[in-house]
A and B are shown apart, each in its own frame.
Chain A
Amino acid sequence: MNNTKKPFSFSLGMMIVCLMLVLAGCSTNADSNTGKGTNAAGENNASAANKTLTMAYTWNPAGVDPHGDDSWDVMRSGAGETLIKLNEQLQPAAWLAKEWKQEDANTWTLKLENNVTFHDGKKMDAESVKASLLRSIENSHLAKDLLLVKDIEVVAPDELKIITTQPNSAIISSLADPSTIILDVDSIKEAGSYPAMTGAFKIKQFTKDVSLVVERYDGYWGQPAKLKEVTMKFVTDGNTRLMALQAGEVDVATDIPIDSIELVEKDSKLEVLSAPSVRTHMVLFNMNSALFKEKANREVVDQAIPREAIIESVMRGYGTKAKSPFPEILPFGKVAEQAAGETTEQLLSAGGWQKNAAGMWEKEGKPFEATLLTFPHRPELSVMAEVIQNQLLNEGITVKIRKVENIDAELAKSDWDLAMYSMLTAHTGDPQYFLNIFYQSASESNVSHYVSKPLETVINKLNETSATEARNALAIEAQDIINEDLPQSFIVHPDNVFGVKKGVTGFIPHPIEYYYVTAEVDIT
């Protein structure tokens, strides 16, 4: 036997070690500033003139083109701006457009700020804004649906005229949608180049799956940014985001998992920041299901939902009770609460249901048994489903919870009765888009299969009305019809929740989910 030969396992081991070292040496240094992982973000903040902020960010954008599917991420970075901004009261406010006027039912003119430059140094004017809007309509289905643009005309170097295909009174609010971010169209003609936008920060580096780094834009038309640089690290796992914050590797963590909020609250170096959102968690009724065709049965479920208890226990207090699709922070969200109706006993007895010996409701020998769908992407919904299941069991109703991976695919089928669901109902601060898409009978997004001619009439009237007061009144009327017919039970409007290091200032959670980084954000 030749024992002088090196054993094979040794060779294999050495090969793997060498390969690993070579790869580690070649690896990207994109986030090497985290160093040993101990307070790296803090170390970076040592110099006041070069202060930086690191954020553990929930999403993982595929790119930085604001007219694609990643517009929200670009807006959140502070690099992009739109013609209109939504203020704290979710009212349209001036941003790149300083004023606007409705000429007739289909025509709007907008006067632009005239001291704005793009990140490539070019001046923003009506021509460049027109080109940007046309590009967004061409590339983004949402921009196309929201704006309903027929034509855009340049009236003066700082004035635009937008003509819509039909009366679209929501157009001003819709111009706040991130899919309409204004950019210099010429800046992204070359593959791999970053878009030149108008925000307080400009894109410095985007590394797929890793991070988006933005730096202060010195030619910004407003107050310059207090921070030199912001790094958004893409961390899709909620627990990892939380631990990165606890370890001091990041200054801000978005979407802290609700069941871990206590850990942030108890940490003396951290704090929780939150704001009410325009999101609504709800229970959908399948209006075609044999059980829930009957309004009385929907009322029974609606009455059984312990909304306050859910907010207290499941949402840890970070949410507000929902009475309609739109939260009360919106002027058209202040709907009257439905008066307590008949009891479960009365409702079901009138419908021919009887309690059996076990105390469960049944009709013609069949028990009251419903299927409730839930899905994993919003874990709090599954907990809510269990609370509702338990509550209904106490009422004598059996609910079978079915966890599905893709809720929308399951909703398209007919074999469900109830489903947990979550929607952003007024992401531009206006009710028109949501009511049209979610409640029109011909829409595939009408997942409850709810058909109401009176509601459609009100929605159509809303589409044609431009006066704000009248629009709000119509939106409330629409919600009254919805609450009367009860195609959904609205449970809670969850808060937007962030964990931040103490010392971070100017980071103010906004009800709209796409405003994160601003020029005001600072760190001490």
Chain B
Amino acid sequence: MLRFWLERAMQMLLVIFCVATLTFILMRVSPGDPARILLTTHNIPASQEAIDALREEMGLTDSLWSQYIRWLGDVFTWQWGTSYMSKEPVAGELLKRLPATLELASAGAFVMLLATCLIGLATAIFSTGLLDRMGRLMALLGASIPSFWLGFLLIYFFSVRLGWLPSMGRGGLAHLLMPAVTLGLGLGAVYARVLRTNMLEMNSQNFVKASRARGLSKGRILIFQVFKHAFLPILSMLGTSFAFMLGGNVIVETIFSWPGVGKYIIEAITARDYPVIQGYVVFTSFLFVAIHLAVEVFYVRLDPRLRAS
């Protein structure tokens, strides 16, 4: 077990090192001068002296090597540099916004899971007929409707027309509902289709036939055997989607003015705030690795064959 965790920790360090290096290179080759952008925020031209002074202040006049070494040092001391915009440490800035993103991602994942299970189960039980056709249509819409469009549609109906829900901001459950649905519903409808297919395939498996022969009830077989086994392949997809949501959903957070990591990063990209962008990429890569590790552990728990190997 110790070896397993050591291997995973080494893999994580390697991934973070590669991502940190790649991000540094990509940021430096992408167009845009952070000093100039910061000084011309209000479209007022900036003097040459001001641009030069700020470049020096930001350390952009140092050689690329020294900038890279400084960045790596920041990564491994868990500081991730100082934001050009707020002049505060990037790690702290990201952590401040993480609870909002975590809240939205969890709610989005809950909607996704609920939609997957409800639609998947219903369409598997009634695999022919109107319900199945509706499930297919929902999956098609879920895959094709962009989240910004769904978000605005929800705001228009539930805030502007009906006045039931707040259109923006973070607060109680009322604030959470529309962003969570926007985030999770589409993916849930798509995964429901996969769950349905898996469940129908499981129905013809020998262990299901054996359970029927033993006289177990249909509901028991469906929930505790067919569903449980059919759900296994979906787990990794759900894990990946949850990791994406935790990375901050740029569009949903912007539309609903949700003060999370996604909204923050889009502003950092616009301002070419290198330390924030680089810190964010390292942060999300860490999240991905950690969540995949968690999914792997759950897999082992769910599937005894993996435990043995």
**Chain A interface residues toward B at CB < 8 A:** 1, 3, 7-9, 12-13, 16-17, 19-20, 23-24, 26-32, 34-40, 56, 60, 62-63, 68-69, 72, 141-142, 144-145, 207-210, 233-237, 239-240, 243-244, 246-249, 279, 377, 405-406, 408-410, 412, 422-424, 427, 433-434, 436-438, 442-445, 513
Contact of A210 among B155, B169, B228 (CB under 8 A): B169
Complex: A24 Cα to B170 Cα, angstroms: 9
On whether the beta carbons of B257 and A424 are closer than 8 Å, the reply is: no
On whether the beta carbons of A408 and B106 are closer than 8 Å, the reply is: no
Residue B39 CB within 8 A of the other chain = yes
Residue B32 CB within 8 A of the other chain = yes
On chain B, the residues within 8 Å of A3 by CB distance are 220, 224
Complex: A424 Cα to B44 Cα, angstroms: 5
On whether the beta carbons of B170 and A27 are closer than 8 Å, the reply is: yes
Contact of B228 among A9, A31, A38, A423 (CB under 8 A): A9
Nearest-neighbour CB distance to chain A for B118, whole angstroms, equals 11
Closest 4 interchain pairs by CB? A37-B166, A409-B31, A209-B259, A141-B50
Nearest-neighbour CB distance to chain A for B137, whole angstroms, equals 25
The residue in chain B whose Cβ has the minimal distance to the Cβ of A7 is B228
Complex: A243 Cα to B120 Cα, angstroms: 34
Nearest-neighbour CB distance to chain A for B54, whole angstroms, equals 6
On whether the beta carbons of B160 and A246 are closer than 8 Å, the reply is: yes
On whether the beta carbons of B174 and A37 are closer than 8 Å, the reply is: yes
Q: Render B152-169 as a binary contact track against A, CB cut-off 8 A, 1 for contact.
A: 100110011001111111
Supply 12 A–B pairs (Cβ within 8 Å), ascending by A. A8-B231, A13-B113, A24-B172, A35-B174, A37-B164, A60-B267, A62-B86, A141-B46, A240-B167, A247-B163, A406-B37, A409-B31
The residue in chain A whose Cβ has the minimal distance to the Cβ of B242 is A16
Residue B117 CB within 8 A of the other chain = yes
On whether the beta carbons of A16 and B109 are closer than 8 Å, the reply is: yes
The residue in chain B whose Cβ has the minimal distance to the Cβ of A237 is B254
Nearest-neighbour CB distance to chain B for A426, whole angstroms, equals 10
Stretch at the interface among B4-12, B15-23, B96-104: B96-104
On whether the beta carbons of A240 and B256 are closer than 8 Å, the reply is: yes
Complex: A17 Cα to B99 Cα, angstroms: 15
Given the known interface contacts A20-B110, A233-B168, A243-B152, the answer about A39 and B163 at a Cβ–Cβ threshold of 8 Å is: yes
On whether the beta carbons of B228 and A145 are closer than 8 Å, the reply is: no
On chain B, the residues within 8 Å of A234 by CB distance are 257
On chain B, the residues within 8 Å of A433 by CB distance are 44
Contact of B167 among A7, A17, A209, A244 (CB under 8 A): A244
Q: Which chain B residues (92-151) contact chain A, with CB distance < 8 Å? A: 96-97, 99-100, 102-103, 106-107, 109-110, 113-114, 117
On whether the beta carbons of A145 and B50 are closer than 8 Å, the reply is: yes
The residue in chain B whose Cβ has the minimal distance to the Cβ of A242 is B160
Q: Which of B42, B114, B165 has the most CB of A within 10 A?
A: B42
On chain A, the residues within 8 Å of B100 by CB distance are 27
Contact of A409 among B33, B83, B211, B302 (CB under 8 A): B33
The residue in chain B whose Cβ has the minimal distance to the Cβ of A280 is B43
On chain A, the residues within 8 Å of B224 by CB distance are 3, 7
On chain A, the residues within 8 Å of B169 by CB distance are 31, 34, 210, 233
On whether the beta carbons of B44 and A409 are closer than 8 Å, the reply is: no
Contact of B48 among A26, A39, A249, A442 (CB under 8 A): A442
Complex: A297 Cα to B263 Cα, angstroms: 44
On whether the beta carbons of B106 and A8 are closer than 8 Å, the reply is: no
Complex: A247 Cα to B254 Cα, angstroms: 18
On chain B, the residues within 8 Å of A233 by CB distance are 168-169, 257
Q: Which of B36, B109, B159, B302 has the most CB of A within 10 A?
A: B159
Q: DSSP class of B's interface residues: helix, strand, loop or mixed? A: helix
Nearest-neighbour CB distance to chain B for A390, whole angstroms, equals 26
Q: Render B193-214 as a binary contact track against A, CB cut-off 8 A, 1 for contact.
A: 0000000000000000001000
Residue B255 CB within 8 A of the other chain = yes
Contact of B51 among A37, A244, A249, A444 (CB under 8 A): A444
Contact of A20 among B103, B263, B302 (CB under 8 A): B103
Known: A244-B159, A423-B43. 11 other contacts (CB 8 A): A31-B170, A39-B163, A40-B166, A62-B83, A141-B39, A141-B49, A209-B97, A246-B160, A279-B43, A406-B31, A442-B48
On chain B, the residues within 8 Å of A243 by CB distance are 152, 155-156, 159-160, 167
Given the known interface contacts A29-B171, A208-B259, the answer about A145 and B49 at a Cβ–Cβ threshold of 8 Å is: yes
Residue B63 CB within 8 A of the other chain = no
On whether the beta carbons of B45 and A142 are closer than 8 Å, the reply is: no
On chain A, the residues within 8 Å of B164 by CB distance are 36-38
The residue in chain B whose Cβ has the minimal distance to the Cβ of A31 is B169
On whether the beta carbons of A210 and B167 are closer than 8 Å, the reply is: no
Residue B301 CB within 8 A of the other chain = yes
Given the known interface contacts A243-B167, A279-B43, the answer about A8 and B301 at a Cβ–Cβ threshold of 8 Å is: yes
Nearest-neighbour CB distance to chain A for B249, whole angstroms, equals 14
Q: Render B68-88 as a binary contact track against A, CB cut-off 8 A, 1 for contact.
A: 000000000000000101110
On chain B, the residues within 8 Å of A405 by CB distance are 31-32
Complex: A27 Cα to B180 Cα, angstroms: 15
On chain B, the residues within 8 Å of A442 by CB distance are 48
On whether the beta carbons of B46 and A239 are closer than 8 Å, the reply is: no
On chain A, the residues within 8 Å of B228 by CB distance are 7-9
Complex: A513 Cα to B44 Cα, angstroms: 12
Residue B244 CB within 8 A of the other chain = no
On whether the beta carbons of B39 and A142 are closer than 8 Å, the reply is: yes
Complex: A444 Cα to B173 Cα, angstroms: 50
Contact of B168 among A63, A240, A406, A427 (CB under 8 A): A240
